């Protein structure tokens, strides 16, 4: 699991640096939709930008989704090794 949040203060650059280790690798992404609803994806981190990152969902349609680093800070999404 992405353990950067356990180290205290974090910002976009720290999260981006931590995600760079997962760039191109397959991860499990758990997305909190609210009201105890979750979606889980097998995904590959495709690109990192200043405020957002792109993941390619590894299913039959190979869709691309974008998330912000704030989603990680607020624990809306959780990323773990496959």
Rounded to 5 degrees, φ, ψ at 22 are -95, 0
Of 4 and 28, the structure prediction assigns the larger pLDDT to 28
Distance CA 80, CA 3 (A): 9
pLDDT in tens, 17-67: 989 999 999 999 999 999 999 999 999 999 999 999 999 999 888 899 999
CATH number for region 4-81: 2.30.30.100
Determine the average pLDDT of the residues in 7-24: 85
Regarding pTM above 0.75, the answer is yes
Domain range list for the chain: 4-81
């Amino acid at each position: 699991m992405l353990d950067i949040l356990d180290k205290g203060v974090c910002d976009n650059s720290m999260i981006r640096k931590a995600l760079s280790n997962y760039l191109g690798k397959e991860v499990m992404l758990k997305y909190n939709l609210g009201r105890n609803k979750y979606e889980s994806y097998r995904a590959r981190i495709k690109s990192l930008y200043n405020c957002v990152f792109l993941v390619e969902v590894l299913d039959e349609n190979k869709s691309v989704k974008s998330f912000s680093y704030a989603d990680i800070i607020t624990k809306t999404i959780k990323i773990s090794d496959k």
